[in-house]
A and B are shown apart, each in its own frame.
Chain A
Amino acid sequence: MIRAPLSTTSVLDETAEVVSRAAAPWAAVVAATSLPYRFMQIIFIERVSELGSAATHYGRALGTIANLTILAFIFSRWGRVVFARACRLAEASDATPGREAWGVPLVALVSYLFVSSIAEIVYYASVLTIVGPVLAAMLAGLAIGTAELNTRPGIMAPWRHIARHSKTSKQLMSFVFIFFVGVIVAFINLAATFAAGAWLAHAFAGVSLARWDVLLSIRNKHYIFLLLAGAIAIVEPFWIAAHVVLVRRAGVAETGEDLRIWFRELQSRWAE
């Protein structure tokens, strides 16, 4: 089957190849840098749910946790940019990227931090709506995809790149849906893995499950949040790579290179 170069399925196909080349060890960088942020988010949500309607009286305490969460947020964005660079290098050379993936230009990192902060604000401000988080996810995706295109500092430069690639909104919307489903599937798989592990420990090692049943229960909020953090950590490298591939392909489409590649692909298939 021959698909259009910018189709969602062809981008996802290439994403799988790129992640397989860049995953070791660069996916570990994403996981190691994003987990502190996810844990801080969990702590924040837990404190808010504990306080309930009294949360408005504990603004300072929540603010302290929010500040620490934002520090972890900065660290996680750095990890994302490193992985995005590793994906771009893997895509360009058809090999596992080496140490050069660490060399993220400062202007790319700060520009990405700038746009992803806005995406984060949009997300938190509209968390109770459906459209807001979807838009925030699309903006965050374009931000990581275009991060390395920023070569000059400025607050308008990142928006020019985002505006130029916003014509891929159909694919971006598809990614939001696909990766949302991906997180749910990863969540279910993680829960099943832990349940199977507990069952095996009981069956073969005689471990008492009385305590573990309570800890690994879906009624345990901590467990659910940790599963969610784990599921996001599993899907995140694919999400980053998909946007890097999409932005690269959209750039290629502008120059007409995509048509040349497609034509070569058609020629090779006719020759077979």
Chain B
Amino acid sequence: MPGPARQTCIHHPQRLAFAVCMTCRNAVCQACATQWDGIYHCTTCLAARRTASRERGSVAGWLALVAGVLLLLRLTTYVMVWAGALIAGLF
């Protein structure tokens, strides 16, 4: 009875498998495996995660930036009036 076939990397069939990606469950070689938070991921799944994370960061960044600009512009009008009234009172 033949033993179990030795697994190879899904991206590099000539290389032996080193780990299994915990997202897509494919076997990958040492070059394709990246350990993140103690779990192995293949480059494709890691890139997908990175893109998703960037998109979330981008939306949050836009929201923070636009809210910050609106708040600061409102604050600028108040400071402008306050400074104007202060200077007018002094001179």
Question: Which residues of A does B touch, CB under 8 Å?
Answer: 44-45, 48-49, 51-53, 55-56, 59, 62-63, 66-67, 69-70, 73-74, 107, 110-111, 113-114, 117-118, 120-121, 124-125, 127-128, 152-155, 157
Contact = CB atoms under 8 A, between A and B. Distances in A.
Interface in B57-91: 57-58, 61-62, 64-66, 68-69, 72-73, 75-91
Contact of B87 (A48, A118, A157): A48
Given A70-B73, A153-B58, A154-B65, A121 B88 contact: no
Given A52-B88, A55-B88, A74 B61 contact: no
Given A70-B80, A117-B72, 14 more contacts: A44-B80, A45-B84, A48-B84, A56-B88, A62-B85, A66-B84, A67-B77, A74-B73, A110-B66, A117-B69, A124-B76, A124-B82, A128-B86, A153-B58
A182 B3 CA distance: 85
Given A69-B80, A121-B75, A154-B61, A48 B66 contact: no
A153 B55 CA distance: 11
B85 to A, nearest CB: 4
B72 A114 contact: yes
A51 B80 contact: no
Contacts of B66: 110
Interface of B: 57-58, 61-62, 64-66, 68-69, 72-73, 75-91
Given A110-B69, A117-B69, A59 B85 contact: yes
- Ranked nearest first, the 8 interchain pairs of A and B with the lowest CB-CB distance are A153-B61, A117-B72, A55-B88, A154-B61, A48-B84, A66-B77, A55-B85, A124-B83
Contacts, number: 97
A15 B64 CA distance: 34
Contacts of B83: 124-125, 127
Contacts of A69: 77, 80
Contacts of B58: 152-153
Nearest to B58: A153
Given A110-B66, A155-B68, A66 B75 contact: no
Contact of B65 (A48, A59, A111): A111
B72 A62 contact: no
A114 B65 contact: yes
Contacts of B57: 152, 154
